[in-house]
Structure 1
Amino acid sequence: MTRRFRALSLGAALMTATALSAPAALAQTAPMAGMHMMQAPPSLNLSAHGEVRMAPDMATISFGVLTEAPTAAAAMRQNAARMTEVMAALRRAGIAERDVQTSGLNLSAQYDYVQNQPPKLRGYQANNRVTVTINDMNRVGTTADAVVAAGVNQIDGISFGLKDSAAAEDQARRLAVRDLQAKAALYAQALGVPLVGIRSLSESGGYNPRPPQPMYARAEMSMADSSTPVAAGELTVRIDITGVYDLGR
């Protein structure tokens, strides 16, 4: 057998082997192609929320003592004396030490400015700021009055909150899920398809304390005056959810 004939015979054998294996390869790739062409099951993407309104059971008041004197030492000394009276008033009002926190202490030079003249030092200003948590809602107004009478001359604001928001958040979650389930059932019924089940669920929201609201001290006070009225209102705890439901065909 010549070399040329052997080469032709080997080529023919390879072609025959390839032709025989081709149907098997096609048979293996056909199911794979069919799997890629399968469509995802129909689904619903819905959102819902649950809200719970509750009366606050705590309040936070931020206030400060501002003093000014010709020297820095005098400004700080006057401020310390007045703040000592304020702390004593808080204790008499029934506020625990753990509920009182210094939130700022500042000393700054004060200048008078006249056009075409260099600034002239007028004195120094000391500012001591305190944040107080009040756990008895009946003492909010009387506490504000007590600190003003003791020397507080700046009140930044008051905010209301909940000591424990877990129960309210759980109740809002139940309401949100109930709303989501009702929506899913309604859509499935309207579309005339069975509701298979939920695929995924995500949550956002929750308890957010109300931001501080301005609170202004009265200029004139006496021990006979009634306490400053404070309306706490209600707080809203809201949970937002999004769910994906699978539908039957």
Structure 2
Amino acid sequence: MRQMMMASALAFATVATTAPIAAAQAQTMMPVQTINGTRLDVVATGEVTRVPDIARISTGVITTATTASAALEQNAVQMRKVRDALRRAGIADNDIQTSSINLYPDYRQDERGGGNPQLIGYRAQNEVTVKFRDIANTGKILDALVAQGANQINGPMLSIDKPEAALDEARTRALANARSRAELYARATGKKVGRIVAISESGGGMPGPVYGRAAMMAESSKIDPGEQSLGVTLNVTFELE
């Protein structure tokens, strides 16, 4: 009798321990999606255009002096004027970022030749990257920088600050283009477009930055933003019935 009770308890324990495992396995098993009709893979792109609303430039000061400390000190004075000019123009502190500070020795080659280069002083360079949120005033700000001693200006680099809404529109267009192409194939083969089996996004996205150049700006310099294209490419799998 005791042996029968022990056997029953063991059998119950075995069922109790295996049941959760079987349930867990059932939960992790995913149904395999099958295509009953004809599979059609389409690659389609959607594009939209937007006017850039952000301009970035690199600007700074190069100073030279007979000693390293003097070159750095003069540079700091000039850069302070440049930063003050940016703040007066309404540029926020978080839109001004130091990009590089460099100090180089200056040498002069012996004119008679054959001799070693002579150290004649030092060159200090300080550059900041500036983000302009009002492109229409970029030219005036660049002119002000030059007036305050900025002798290095590179850019502008034009871009779109918040592109997600535009990219979503491009995605919608890409999907519409994919379905239109699927309809064309369906008509050509005497079928009709059924369900979408899979969608994946590849390529496209943000456009590359557009560069201009503003060396020594003339008075009332003007920046033309133009337009930029944003595109999204979709790989869409349809079932043709």
Q: Could you say which TM-score interval applies, normalised by the shorter chain?
A: 0.7 to 0.9
Q: Which amino acid aligns with 1:164?
A: K
- How far, CA to CA, are the matches of 1:104 and 1:211 in structure 2? 22
1:48 aligns with 2:44: yes
- 1:244 and 2:237 equivalent? yes
> Equivalents in 2 of 1:80, 1:237: separation in Å?
41
**Contact 1:105–1:126 (Cα < 8 Å) also in 2:** yes
Taking structure 2 as the reference length, what is the TM-score of the superposition?
0.79
Once residues 178 and 84 of structure 2 are traced to their aligned partners in structure 1, the CA distance between those partners, rounded to angstroms, is 53
Q: 1:235 aligns with which of 193, 218, 228?
A: 228
Query: What amino acid is the match of 2:116?
Result: P
Q: Do structure 1's residue 82 and structure 2's residue 78 form an aligned pair?
A: yes
> In the alignment, residue 90 of structure 1 is paired with which amino acid?
L
Q: Say yes or no: does 1:97 pair with 2:58.
A: no
Deviations 1:127-151 (A, max 9, x none): 1001111111221111111111101
Amino acid in structure 2 at the alignment position of 1:131: T
- 1:232 counterpart SS class: coil
Match of 2:138 in 1: 140
Give the residue type in structure 1 aligned to 2:143: D
Equivalent residue for 1:158?
156
State the Cα distance separating 1:87 from its structure 2 match: 0.9
SS of the residue corresponding to residue 237 of structure 2 reads strand
Q: In the alignment, is the contact (CA less than 8 A) between 1:160 and 1:209 conserved in 2? A: no
Which AA in structure 2 matches 1:120?
Answer: Q
Aligned partner of 1:123 in structure 2 is 121
Q: Matched residues in 2 for 1:43 and 1:90: separation? A: 59
Once the two structures are TM-superposed, the CA of residue 166 in structure 1 deviates from its matched residue by 1.2
Q: Deviations over 1:164-199 (max 9, x none)?
A: 111101111111111000000110110112323222
Determine if contact 2:52/2:158 at 8 Å carries over to the other structure: yes
Question: Which residue identity is paired with 1:207?
Answer: M
Q: For residue 62 of structure 1, give the secondary structure of its aligned residue in structure 2.
A: strand
Name 1:208's counterpart in structure 2: 207
CA contact (8 A) 1:58 1:134 kept: yes
Distance 1:116 1:97 in 2: 51
Give, as a single letter, the amino acid of the residue that structure 1 aligns with 2:58: S
% of aligned pairs identical? 39
Distance in 2 between the 1:124 and 1:89 partners?
26
Letter in 1 for 2:92: A
In structure 2, distance between residues paired with 1:89 and 1:196? 62
Q: Where do 5+ consecutive residues of structure 2 fail to align?
A: 1-34
